[in-house]
């Protein structure tokens, strides 16, 4: 599917876009774009003049000239509509591809008596529990409440490799339309019909939910004001021409107006916004709004989780380090007992390491034991056995506080063992039983390659990176230095992330964050750009304004680049459009007044053949430049990581100066062709 997304610009889409270009001529649709609405009104007036040359008063222009102006203006409007229709067509084609994934699947609904009943997936409601086995389609979005399975998500993400999903933790969320490859799962449905992730995805990519962003609204307002100003300018030319004894044709005045107002960016503005959303979606990121994409381009601070984002996240038990007076087998046994009911990847790795060292246990001893779940507040987990024995494992300082609260002695070398692991970039977990500390578990993690270079690029762009981790300060400092982040927050609780985001926002900065767990949801909601992992919990996905279908936390770096590309593309084409007008002044204004004011010949630096040829050449260039810029609007201006000053200078030279020079050559070339055809 990822490959299909990249090939969505097909001949069928182009044909549909051509048809939609005509249907969009409806004035009720055109009035949403003030610039092109003015051009359409001018087109209708020139059509009237083409049929009845003297309909609006005495005209000195011939019918052929009026028809030429009408046709050029018509194509100007159609080209602008085509750009928007083409961008919309790509989104609709992608939505059609997604619809193929969605089918009326039969679900096996779990009844109160434990039996299963086959029902259509459309009848499922929030709270229903369904059983999905090998080879079956998951009928609706939900959370796994029992079981572990390998799930093929290629219909959604485009990735062929199955992913492991299991009950509990931050990887229990499943999406309707994906397929179970092995084992079975019980899924608790979390959405009603029509509200599923796939439904929302279809609505967003086909543009049904697209709203204009604040920047887009502001630019549209600016273009409308410029159009109004130039309209008044054209109206003032009429009495000036009468005073000089010059008769200006209405078609010529309309042509001048169309050339002076920013028609290029007016025709491409909507297409740029739609294409920007489409580029994010092609990158397997679902943006809930265009505002989120734009905000990504203006980000000042990135707050990143360490585990799974900066590091691979698969922290595995590598070694048991006993405190003085305890042997390695004893600490291994204590760590095993603390983890036998821990279903997290870290917990299972501790059990596996203990088994490798020959430690065994009797499952019957742990029946009826109370499981103490890990929380961000206590930063500990463990078991309370039926005989009253308490077993705990967790952060070194948390275990120290726990042991001291029981009035027990803390070994003098516990701190040293923790620091030894932290200096190596690992995570130390202390183990205690009945208030006695046995030692430390060494959990090992690895920083993802290439991140240091990416963070350096962000730093060059003025973006600050902050790493959040529950690790102790020493471990956090080691990882932060290795990864190359600017700051870090150690021993972070969920509320610490929110406070960090609010602190940055209070300074007027825009903040981005990634997350996948339920405890990340408040911070994702607080951030200006919240990127949730598709593999994460439903709470995280609902709180965020972007969802990464590939569940790659480092994708936020690329999302920021796409957001900046959207803003740069809009700015570059606006600069190019306004700069274009300079050449049009030199083409049309001398042509209009040169008969009465011969001195204006000095402004005819392009030496255009005749007044009418000059006007038509400028008008044709004005129309043709729109489809020529469609590829840039769709693909976006190439983005390079650099400071804002360098970026501004580069784009002013390329699109500002270039925008002034290109029309001179284009208008002259068109004038030469017109002269040859006469």
Average pLDDT over residues 273-291: 76
Q: What would the 3-class secondary structure string for 377-396 be?
A: CCCEEEEECCCCCEEEEECH
- For residue 120, what is the enclosing H or E element? strand 116-120
Instruction: State the Cα–Cα distance between residues 250 and 238, nearest whole angstrom.
Output: 10
Mean of pLDDT values over 500-510: 91
pLDDT band (50, 70, 90) for residue 9: low
pLDDT of 2 over the 50 cut: no
In this model, does residue 37 exceed pLDDT 60? yes
**Higher-confidence residue: 346 or 487?**
487
- Determine the average pLDDT of the residues in 455-482: 84
Q: How confident is the model at residue 208 (pLDDT cuts 50, 70, 90)?
A: very low
Per-residue confidence band for 205, with pLDDT thresholds at 50, 70 and 90: low
- 214 versus 146: which is more confidently predicted? 146
Decide if pLDDT at 434 tops 80: yes
pLDDT at 562: 85
| Active site annotation includes 183 | no
End-to-end CA, the chain: 53
Q: How many residues does the chain have?
A: 678
Token digits of residue 98: 């997604």
More confident of the two residues 309 and 438: 438
The answer to whether 454 is annotated as binding is no
**Domain shared by 83 and 204, yes or no:** yes
Are 206 and 166 in contact, with CB atoms under 8 Å apart? no
Kindly state whether residue 651 falls inside one of the protein's structural domains.
no
Query: What CATH number corresponds to the domain at position 148?
Result: 2.70.150.10
pLDDT digits (tens, 9 = 90+) for 376-386: 678 888 888 87
**What is the maximum span of the chain, computed from C-alpha positions, in angstroms?**
110
Is pLDDT of 318 > 90? no
Phi and psi (nearest 5°) for 486?
-80, -40
Q: What is the mean pLDDT of residues 397-426?
A: 87
Q: 367: annotated binding-site residue?
A: no
What is the b/e burial string over 383-417, where b = at least 16 CB atoms within 10 angstroms of the residue's CB? bebeeeebbbbbbbebbbebbeeeeeebbebbeeb
CA distance 443 to 396: 13
Tell whether 104 is in a known binding site: no
Q: How far apart are CA 152 and CA 135, in angstroms?
A: 10
Q: Is residue 494 part of a domain?
A: yes
Banded pLDDT at 486 (limits 50, 70, 90): very high
CATH number for the domain spanning 326: value is: 3.40.1110.10
Query: Is residue 128 very low, low, confident or very high in pLDDT (cuts 50, 70, 90)?
Result: very high
The 3-class secondary structure across 637-676, one letter per residue, is CCCCCCCHHHHHHHHHHHHHHHHHHHHHHHHHHHHHHHHH
Q: Assess whether 174 and 76 both reside in one domain.
A: no
Report if residue 413 sits inside a domain: yes
Q: What local confidence, expressed as pLDDT, does residue 70 receive?
A: 92
Same domain for 367 and 457: no
Mean pLDDT of 545-551: 80
Q: Is 375 annotated as a binding residue?
A: yes
Give the mean model confidence (pLDDT) for residues 528-553: 80
Shared domain check, 343 and 434:
yes
Mean pLDDT of the 110-122 span: 87
pLDDT at position 209 over 50: no
6 is in an annotated binding site: no
495 or 1, which is more confident?
495
Selected residue with higher pLDDT from 520 and 314: 520
374 labelled binding-site residue:
yes
615: pLDDT confidence band, cut at 50, 70 and 90? confident
Instruction: Provide DSSP, 177-196.
Output: T-EEEEEEEEEEE---TT-S
pLDDT of residue 3: 40
Q: Could you list the residue range(s) of the whole structural domain that residue 327 is in?
A: 318-441
CA gap 348, 334 in Å, rounded: 14
Question: Which is higher by pLDDT, 414 or 202?
Answer: 414
DSSP 388-433: S-EEEEE-HHHHHHHHHHTTPPPPTTHHHHHHHHHHTT-EEEEEEE
Q: Is the pLDDT of residue 435 over 50?
A: yes
User: Does the pLDDT of residue 502 top 60, yes or no?
Assistant: yes
Residue 5, pLDDT score: 42
User: Is residue 25 located within the same domain as residue 59?
Assistant: yes
| Owner of token pair 């920083």 | 447
- Tell whether 229 and 329 lie within a shared domain: no
Which of the four pLDDT bands, split at 50, 70 and 90, describes residue 505?
very high
| Same domain membership, residue 371 and residue 330 | yes
pTM above 0.85, yes or no: no
Considering the domain boundaries, does residue 483 fall inside one?
yes
Give the percent of the chain with pLDDT over 70.
88
Same domain, 204 and 68: yes
Is 346 annotated as a binding-site member? yes
Query: What is the predicted pLDDT for the residue at 346?
Result: 81
Residue of 170, 278, 305, 471 marked active site: 305
Phi, psi for residue 608 in degrees, rounded to 5: -70, 150
The pLDDT of 526-547, averaged and rounded, is: 82
Q: How many helices (H) and strands (E) does the chain have?
A: 24, 20
Is 598 a domain residue? Answer: no
Work out the average pLDDT over 174-198. Answer: 83
**Which positions ≥6 away from 278 have C-beta within 8 Å?**
87, 90, 91, 94, 205
> Do 97 and 225 belong to one domain?
yes
- pLDDT for 373 equals 84
pLDDT band at 141 (very low <50, low <70, confident <90, very high): confident
Residue 311 is labelled as binding a ligand: no
**What phi, psi does 595 have (nearest 5°)?**
-65, -40
Rounded to the nearest angstrom, the gap between the alpha carbon of residue 170 and the centroid of all alpha carbons in its chain is 22
Query: Does some domain include residue 296?
Result: yes
Asked if residue 520 belongs to a known ligand binding site, the reply is: yes
User: For helices 11-23 and 63-101, what crossing angle results, to 10°?
Assistant: 130
> Cα dihedral sign for 648, 654, 655, 657?
positive
Residue 326 lies in a domain: yes
What is the reported pLDDT for 75? 93
Instruction: Give residue 73's pLDDT.
Output: 93
381 assigned binding-site residue: yes
Instruction: Tell me the C-alpha distance between 251 and 295, whole Å.
Output: 43
Q: What is the pLDDT of residue 214?
A: 77
Are 264 and 622 in contact by the 8 Å Cβ rule? The answer is yes
Judgement on whether residues 325 and 429 belong to the same structural domain of the protein: yes
Choice among 46-60, 68-82, 292-306, 647-661 with the minimum mean pLDDT: 46-60
pLDDT value of residue 77: 93
pLDDT for the residue numbered 511: 92
CATH number of the domain within which 508 lies: 3.40.50.1000
CA distance 354 to 358: 7
Domain presence at residue 633: no
pLDDT tens digits for 66-75?
899 999 999 9
Task: Single out the residue in 137, 161, 192 at which a domain terminates.
Answer: 192
Q: Domain check: are 437 and 456 in the same one?
A: no
Is residue 98 predicted with pLDDT exceeding 80? no
Residue 565: the pLDDT is 86
619-674 pLDDT, tens digit per residue, is 899 899 999 998 888 888 887 767 777 888 888 888 988 888 888 889 889 989 88
* pLDDT level of residue 93 (50, 70, 90 thresholds): low
Task: Indicate the residue among 418, 441, 464 that finishes a domain.
Answer: 441
The answer to whether the CB of 566 falls within 8 A of the CB of 632 is no
Q: What is the mean pLDDT of the chain?
A: 82
Q: What percent of the chain has pLDDT over 90?
A: 12
Q: Binding residue per annotation — 516?
A: yes
* Domains identified in the chain, total number: 4
Same domain, 503 and 436: no
Q: What is the pLDDT of residues 555-613, one digit of tens each?
A: 887 888 888 888 888 889 999 988 888 778 777 777 766 666 776 677 777 777 777 88
Residue after which a domain boundary falls, among 544, 559, 574: 559
């Amino acid at each position: 599917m990822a490959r299909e997304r990249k090939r969505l610009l097909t001949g069928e889409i182009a044909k549909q876009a051509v048809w939609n270009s005509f249907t969009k001529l409806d004035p009720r649709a055109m009035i949403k774009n003030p610039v092109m609405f003015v051009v359409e009104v001018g087109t209708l007036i020139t059509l009237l003049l083409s049929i009845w040359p003297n309909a609006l008063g005495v005209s000195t222009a011939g019918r052929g000239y009026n028809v030429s102006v009408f046709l050029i203006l018509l194509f100007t409007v159609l080209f602008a509509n085509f750009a928007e229709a083409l961008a919309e067509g790509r989104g609709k084609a992608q939505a059609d591809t997604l619809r193929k994934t969605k089918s009326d699947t039969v679900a096996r609904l779990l009844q109160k008596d434990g039996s299963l009943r086959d029902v259509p997936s459309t009848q499922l409601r929030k709270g229903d529990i369904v059983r999905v086995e090998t080879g079956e389609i998951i009928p609706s979005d939900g959370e796994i409440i029992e079981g572990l399975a390998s799930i093929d998500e290629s219909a959604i993400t485009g990735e062929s490799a199955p992913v492991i999903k299991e009950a509990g933790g931050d990887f229990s969320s499943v999406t309707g339309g994906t397929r179970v490859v092995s084992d079975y799962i019980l899924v608790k449905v979390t959405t009603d019909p029509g509200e599923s992730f796939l439904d929302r995805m279809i609505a967003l990519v086909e543009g049904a939910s697209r709203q204009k962003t604040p920047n887009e609204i502001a630019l549209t307002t600016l273009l409308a004001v410029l159009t109004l100003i130039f309209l008044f300018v054209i109206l003032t030319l009429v009495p000036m021409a009468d005073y000089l004894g010059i008769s200006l044709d209405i078609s010529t005045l309309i042509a001048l107006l169309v050339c002076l107002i920013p028609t290029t960016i007016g025709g491409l503005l909507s297409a740029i916004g739609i294409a920007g959303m489409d580029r994010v979606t092609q990158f397997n990121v679902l943006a809930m709004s265009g505002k989120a994409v734009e905000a990504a381009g203006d980000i000042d601070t990135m707050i990143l989780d360490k585990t799974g984002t900066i590091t691979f996240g698969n922290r595995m038990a590598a070694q048991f380090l006993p405190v003085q007076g305890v042997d390695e087998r004893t600490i291994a046994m204590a760590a095993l007992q603390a983890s036998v009911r821990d279903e997290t990847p870290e917990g299972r790795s501790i059990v596996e390491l203990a088994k490798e060292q020959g430690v065994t246990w009797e499952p019957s001893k742990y029946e009826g034991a109370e499981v103490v779940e890990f929380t961000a507040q206590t930063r500990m987990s463990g078991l309370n056995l039926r005989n009253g024995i308490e077993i705990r494992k967790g952060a070194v300082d948390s275990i120290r506080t726990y042991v001291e609260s029981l009035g027990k002695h803390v070994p003098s070398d516990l701190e040293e063992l923790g620091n030894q692991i932290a200096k190596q970039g690992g995570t130390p977990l202390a183990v205690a039983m009945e208030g006695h500390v046995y030692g430390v578990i060494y959990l090992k993690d690895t920083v993802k390659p290439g991140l240091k270079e990416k963070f350096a690029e962000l730093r060059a762009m003025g973006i600050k990176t902050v790493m959040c981790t529950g690790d102790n300060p020493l471990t956090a400092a080691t990882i932060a230095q290795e990864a190359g982040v600017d700051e870090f927050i150690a021993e972070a609780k969920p509320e610490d992330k929110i406070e960090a985001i609010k602190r940055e926002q209070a300074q007027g900065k825009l903040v981005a964050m990634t997350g996948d767990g339920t405890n990340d949801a408040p911070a994702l909601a607080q951030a200006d750009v919240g990127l949730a992992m598709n593999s994460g919990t439903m709470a995280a996905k609902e709180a965020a304004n972007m969802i990464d279908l590939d569940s790659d936390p480092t994708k936020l770096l690329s999302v920021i680049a796409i957001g900046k590309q959207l803003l740069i593309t809009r700015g570059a084409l606006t600069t190019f459009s306004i700069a274009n007008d300079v050449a049009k002044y030199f083409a049309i204004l001398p042509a209009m007044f040169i008969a009465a004011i011969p001195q204006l010949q000095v402004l005819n630096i392009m030496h255009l053949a005749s007044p009418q040829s000059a006007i038509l050449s400028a008008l044709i260039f004005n129309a043709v430049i729109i489809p020529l810029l469609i590829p840039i609007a769709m693909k976006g201006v190439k983005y390079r990581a650099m400071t804002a000053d360098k970026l501004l200078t580069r784009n002013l030279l390329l699109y500002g100066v270039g925008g002034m020079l290109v029309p001179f050559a284009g208008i002259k070339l068109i004038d030469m062709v017109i002269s040859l055809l006469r």
